[in-house]
Amino acid sequence: MKKTWRWFGKKDKITLDMLRQIGVEGIVTALHEIPNGQVWPPDAINEMKTYIELHGLRWSVVESLPVSESIKYAGPDRDCLIDNYIISLENLGKAGIKTICYNFMPVLDWVRTDIEHKWVDGSSSLYFDKIKFAYFDIHLLERKNAIQDYSPEELAKVEELNKTITTTERDELIDTLIVKTQGFVNGNITSKEQQPIVKFKKLLALYDGIGREELRENLTYFLEKIMPICELYGISMCIHPDDPPMQLLGLPRIVTNEEDICWLLKAVDHPCNGLTFCAGSLSAGLQNNVPALARKFASRTKFVHLRSTHILPNGDFVEANHLKGRGHLIEVVRIFEKENPALPMRVDHGKMMLDDENKGYNPGYSFHGRMLALGQIEGVIATVRDELKNKQKKIRSNKRNQ
């Protein structure tokens, strides 16, 4: 696989020069300064592309060309927003940038309750604490019928937490869930927002009456509209699975398991309708066997995120070392190297370590932690390539001896 890295543009403290030194081959980025829903103009695309190329790299993948909420809930301006999306795709296609990662998660993109969960060695990872999340849902959002989504044991723990949580901890939880982890990937709510909870509730209300079926219809509608332009330029649209792959806050999530992915690839059965295989997101659902999914969907996968999680007995999950956990990345690499050794892959997230925590990086996007993960994965890729070469050699020599 091709080693790519998510880079957040010129403001990213991790520079392209640094990335070249650690063996990165391609860049995954977006025009982050353009507000969601607006057209990406050719000049801005070409400027970014040239900047990357001047550093001896190439712009391999767009992550993300964001899909506006209104397209997801079928608001009155969705056609206009889809038209804008099509123009952006056309501009990207003309510039030769043809792998586009996006997601169709309502309101919230990925969800974590802690961005610095400490390990005994002093490093830290991202963490999802089910009870904290339920507390946010029940006591901070005060979502109607929220309690129906949790077991009596969980509800008892939520009430315990409600008694002990401090104001600072509560504000931090809100900030982590709907600002810090979202602002840089989606932009629904930024740190400038004075009343994040009020704004968040308004966003949730947009999905009143939208269940799984409606969201599926809206995704199909969107994909059918954009397929012709994708076909014209050979663009692969790569949907990112829901992270974590489960229903949350009463919002439908429709890319959570094998059945969902089969549905999506059949509903719009077009080679340009593909998948970002995010091993980490899929691994956070007990229903998912990650290597089996990789095997099944390898031919429709156009971009790979390598990451892994541990699911704890209480339903929490934590981001694991890239060589451990439910992601089974060694096997996943075997599958994709066999399918298409040119597939762009980025290591997703990384621990915070060795002063990463003081650098102001986006949550999950550390330098040292990701660099360590890239080194590990690079070793796996080299080993797998060797395995494949030896297998080929054996096959050839067996044929000769027949």
Question: Could you list the active site residues?
Answer: 240, 278, 305, 348-349, 365
Q: Which of 158, 364, 380, 384 binds ligand DNO (CB under 6 A)?
A: 364
Which of 12, 63, 69, 316 is the binder for ligand DNO (CB under 6 A)? Answer: 63
**List 109, 154, 260, 319, residue binding ligand DNO (CB under 6 A):** 109
Interface of this chain with ligand DNO, residues 125 to 184, rule: CB under 6 A: none
CB nearer to ligand DNO: pick between 240 and 370:
240
Note whether 103 binds ligand DNO by CB under 6 A: yes
Does 70 bind ligand DNO (CB under 6 A)? Our answer is no
* Other beta carbons within 10 Å of 234: 11
H/E segment holding residue 238:
strand 236-239
Query: Rounded distance, CA 36 to CA 314, Å?
Result: 37
Stretch 193-232: interaction string toward ligand DNO, x if CB under 6 A: ----------------------------------------
Q: How many residues bind ligand DNO (CB under 6 A)?
A: 11
CB of 202 to ligand DNO, least distance (A): 21
* Sign of the dihedral through C-alpha 213, 214, 216, 220: positive
Rg of the chain in Å (alpha carbons):
21
d(CA 24, CA 377): 12
The least CB distance from residue 375 to ligand DNO, in Å, is 20
Interface map 372-401 toward ligand DNO (x if CB under 6 A):
------------------------------
Residue 101 C-beta: closest distance to ligand DNO, Å: 5
Among 260, 270, 340, which Cα is nearest to 303's? 340
| Rounded CA separation 392/373 (Å) | 29
321: DSSP letter: P
Q: Is 242 in the site for ligand DNO (CB under 6 A)?
A: no
Q: How many whole angstroms from its chain centre is CA 385? A: 26
- The tokens describing 394, both together, are 């054996």
Residues 254-293, mask of contacts with ligand DNO (x by CB under 6 A): ----------------------------------------
Cα–Cα distances in angstroms (integers) from residue 258 to residues 61, 271, 289, in the given order: 24, 18, 9
- CB 47 to ligand DNO: min, Å: 22
Q: Which stretch binds ligand DNO (CB under 6 A): 99-107, 156-164, 171-179, 295-303?
A: 99-107
Q: Of 32 and 338, which CB lies nearer to ligand DNO in the complex structure? A: 32
**What does the alpha-carbon distance between residue 212 and residue 245 come to, in Å, rounded to a whole number?**
13
Q: Is 40 in the site for ligand DNO (CB under 6 A)?
A: no
Find out whether 240 and 281 touch, Cβ atoms under 8 Å. yes
Residue 78 CA to residue 221 CA, distance in Å, equals 10
**Residue located via tokens 């934590």:** 318
In whole angstroms, give the CA distance from residue 94 to residue 344. Answer: 20
When binding is defined by CB under 6 A, the residue of 64, 91, 113, 366 that contacts ligand DNO is 64
Sites of contact with ligand DNO (CB under 6 A): 63-64, 101-103, 109-110, 185, 240, 348, 364
